[in-house]
Chain A
Amino acid sequence: MIKYNIFFLASFCCSLILSGCYDQQSSSVRDNVLVYCSEASPQSFNPQLVTSGTTFDASSRQIYNRLVEFSPGTSHITSSLATSWDISADGKEYIFYLRKDVQFQTTDFFKPSRHFNADDVLFSFQRQWKRTHPFHKTSSLGFPYFESMALGKLIKDIVKLDDYRVKFILNNPDAPFLATLAMDFASILSEEYALQLILKNELTAMDNRPVGTGPFQLTRYQPDAFIRYKAHPEYWKGKEKLEGLVFAITPDPSLRFARLIAGECDLMAKPLPIHLKATLKYPEFKTLSEPGSNISYMAMNTTKKPFDDPKVRLAINYAINKKLLIKVVYNGNAEMAKNPIPPNIWSYNHSTPEIPYSLEKAKKILDSAGYQDGFEMELWAAPVQRTYNPNAIKMAELIQQDLEKINVHAKIVSYEFGTFLSKVKQGEHHAALLGWIGDNGDPDNFFSSLLSCAATKSGNNAAYWCDPEFDDLITQAGRTSIVKKRTQLYQAAQTKFSQALPWVPIAHSKQFIIAHKRINNFHLAPTDGMYFSGVTLTPFNQIQTHSDTEAN
């Protein structure tokens, strides 16, 4: 009897262990598929609707192209869907000469019958611009970049000269215009696909089942689980060597790291400082880093009391120990911030006064504003990792502690990242921990997207701070292409900002990524974008020799 039971148990256990004898790494399926552990689900597959880098990584950077693009790893503009362009002398007219023989992707739900032409360009922009366009209201997300950069006011008209020539007529000269067209929201969609969708009455498929001209096309998406891509066979630059690309959506940073170490992913997004230290023990991984073009800040909603009082905002600036935050949250891998733009963006004003950490000053100012007994507030933070903030919840807890010392009682409120962003957009918060990554190396990208009056309407100005003088300065700076003049205007704007302090600017973080050594040719963009075009993989059985000869 005993023997029988033991035998049964033993065979049961054996069958369990047997399935473990399967070795993951020796599979040849992995040789041509890159698995990237990403930090969140995309909000959509249409980059026009969002500002979040996660969504751009999943959409514009793999599936679409733009008229012009940044060359990999830099903010230098090169040709893409537009082979060349002419700018008129007054800076108000741009003529783009479009590339011929560009194929859109053939997917399960769409087969193109024509090449890319001017109609697609017109469609992509008019959709964001014209309120009466059938695709204008298909999503509740709106067009945050198009609106906060006030492109509707900037662009007078877009004219199709012929199938391969498009003219943009502007109302006033705009220095960063080319850089703007290289941004993700300016991706080119397929007009033919749009027409088919109108006939089938499935307008939202435009954003959920994307069709673009880019290097990879979407094959399958399981929300919160994975996104699968395959190489676009007719890509105009030539089919990618990478056959398959998988985004393994893993919001939990420790799980991301565990997956990387276990070999389930080849590349890991947003490593925590502690992971960077730990990865040194594993020779098969390399760390890539880049000084970040980003800002992390706590926005104070100036439409809600007591944040409408600039004294209160100043007091809170004094009360927060930024040095500590950088040490604890960023593990030292960040610079303290005093301006809304990072120091590696030109026109950074080094002479802006830095608000030191001083509890007495904070209390004094708060008292003089009439809040001797302090007040209660909500501090919003999302439980995700962003390049500009590795752990917003941790930061919120530390800020909560700081504020307690001046009698300000903060309650930490958090939502899933997508929900968090939409609620902040609607202005439900008192104060929120947010951040921004520069998209094109131009200061206008920071100022008008986050602090302009237009951005209060689109909801991206989380402080809801609209100062007419400040707005005037940055608008003027956007109009001229004379760098010296722009620099002066932006520096004046930063001075204005430091007097009103609608934010507590916290830090500029360095960006890191941990990758398996088998990945070649991958560059981290200053905008922290994940561009997988041009990436190749060394087969696993060739890696051993690589690690001997390769110097780390």
Chain B
Amino acid sequence: MLYLALRQLLNLILSFFVLTIFTFSLAHLFPQGVSFIVDYIPVDIFSGDSLLHGSQLNNSQISNFQLNESSQTDNIFISYYHYMSQILTGHFGYSTVRGTSVFSEFFIYFPATLELSLGAIIFALGIGLPLGIFAAQHKNKWQDKLIISTSLAGSAIPIFWWAMLLVLFFSLLLGVTPVASRIGFEYDILPVTGFMLIDTLISKQNYAVDAFFNALHHLILPAIVLGTIPLTAITRTTRSAMIRVLSEDYIRSAKTRGIAAVQVIWKYALRNAMIPIITTLSLQVSVLIAGSLLTETIFSWPGAGKWLLEAVNRRDFPVIHGGILAIASFVILSHLFLDFLSMLVDPKWRHR
């Protein structure tokens, strides 16, 4: 078990190392990079941290993307060393548009993406698991064929179009869901954790519960849109995993022993089918992040995807660099976590 954990950790460090090399070379490829910000003073928009010491403006203090200093040295290894020391201490530079620290901006926007992704996963699992099990039980009958074909169709739908169709039907035609944003504008909720559902409940306003349901209402459609592709993947994986498991001998013997069908599925079969499902989830993390780029654009959801896209439109290179570094690190970490989880679930490893 310990050996495994160590091996995972080594994997993590290596992946992160490759990531930083990638972002390091990326930063050197940025066409304008630092010269864009000549005398813009970096400051945090509402906490007031500023880099400015003394009223005289010093250009070297202002070059608020510290990469600039390191790129002046010839030796690429020393440059890389400087770069790593900045990254690991959380200095991702400052946005050229707003002057806020990229690192802190990331933590303002990322929880929104996380909340949306969690909503999408809950949707995908909540509908995908039962559907997959159902399909596996009725293998090759019309129910199974219907589910498979819907899955297939679902994986061919472009997310942005699907979002537009759902908005057209549910928000504009029927009016049952809101059009955009995380919560109605009349609610002033302080972003403590960044998760709107939690922040509404812990806010001290008298409309806290109203705001909670309002936020939930805003979460539904984007979560469904984002969760559609993971839904198809989970349905397919669950179906094939369950088909395999249900044909095993121990399932047959459990049935003959008279154990209730429900128990057979949920207590015995599903546990053994979990591993490929967790592997699928691991793959879906990337899909969720890619999908959130599009979903957040359509629903005006203030998450990391929309933040990154706006930085691309504004040529805000520190944000682009910091954004991909942070998001990619998250993806690597979540892969690690899910791999670890699958190892925990796998009985082969548990009794080592």
List chain A positions with a Cβ less than 8 A from chain B: 1-2, 4-5, 8-9, 12, 16, 19-20, 22, 24, 27, 29-30, 33, 35, 109, 134, 137-140, 198, 200-205, 208-209, 219-226, 228, 244, 246, 248, 250, 252, 255, 258-259, 261-262, 264-265, 415-416, 418-419
Contact = CB atoms under 8 A, between A and B. Distances in A.
Instruction: Give chain A's interface secondary structure class.
Output: mixed
Contacts of A415: 313-315
Contacts of B213: 19, 22
B171 A8 contact: no
Interface string B35-67: 001111101011010101111010000000000
B185 A246 contact: yes
Contacts of A226: 185
A246 B46 contact: no
Interface in B276-316: 300, 302, 306, 310, 313-315
Contacts of B52: 201-204
Contacts of A140: 37-40
Nearest to B316: A419
B48 A209 contact: yes
A203 B99 CA distance: 13
A223 B184 contact: no
A149 B97 CA distance: 27
Nearest to B99: A204
B187 interface: yes
Contacts of A27: 184, 186, 207, 210
24 contacts: A1-B265, A9-B130, A12-B126, A20-B217, A22-B213, A27-B184, A140-B37, A140-B39, A201-B50, A201-B54, A203-B41, A203-B50, A208-B45, A220-B188, A222-B302, A224-B306, A225-B181, A225-B302, A244-B186, A248-B181, A248-B185, A259-B179, A262-B179, A265-B185
A204 B43 contact: yes
Nearest to B126: A12
A224 B98 CA distance: 11
B344 interface: no
A305 B188 CA distance: 53
A264 B187 CA distance: 11
Contacts of A250: 180, 300
B90 interface: no
Given A4-B262, A202-B48, A224-B302, A262 B178 contact: yes
A200 B46 CA distance: 14
Contacts of A9: 127, 130-131
B20 interface: no
B68 interface: no
Interface of B: 37-41, 43, 45-46, 48, 50, 52-55, 57, 97-99, 126-127, 130-131, 133-134, 137, 171-172, 175-181, 184-188, 207, 210, 213-214, 216-217, 220, 261-262, 265, 300, 302, 306, 310, 313-315
B155 to A, nearest CB: 21
A415 B311 CA distance: 11
A1 B137 contact: yes
Q: What 8 A-B pairs are tightest by C-beta distance, nearest first?
A: A19-B216, A1-B261, A22-B213, A258-B179, A35-B185, A5-B130, A204-B43, A246-B185
Nearest to B223: A16
Contacts of A201: 50, 52-55
A419 B261 contact: no
A418 B311 CA distance: 12
A200 B181 CA distance: 36
Nearest to B177: A20
A5 B133 contact: yes
B315 A419 contact: yes
A1 B40 CA distance: 65
B165 to A, nearest CB: 14
A271 B188 CA distance: 27
Most chain A CB atoms below 10 A, which of B127, B171, B300: B300
Given A9-B127, A140-B40, A201-B50, A24 B185 contact: no
A418 B38 contact: no
B220 A8 contact: no
B294 to A, nearest CB: 14
A77 to B, nearest CB: 35
A219 B190 CA distance: 11
Most chain A CB atoms below 10 A, which of B38, B48, B302: B48
Given A138-B41, A223-B98, A29 B172 contact: no
B212 to A, nearest CB: 9
B172 A24 contact: no
Nearest to A135: B55
Nearest to A208: B45
Given A29-B210, A137-B57, A223-B45, A419 B185 contact: no
Contacts of A205: 43, 48
Contacts of B188: 219-220, 228, 244
B280 to A, nearest CB: 20
A418 B306 CA distance: 17
Contacts of A416: 310, 313-314
A12 B55 contact: no
A249 B15 CA distance: 39
A255 B186 contact: no
A5 B127 CA distance: 10
Contacts of A22: 210, 213-214, 217
Contacts of B97: 418-419
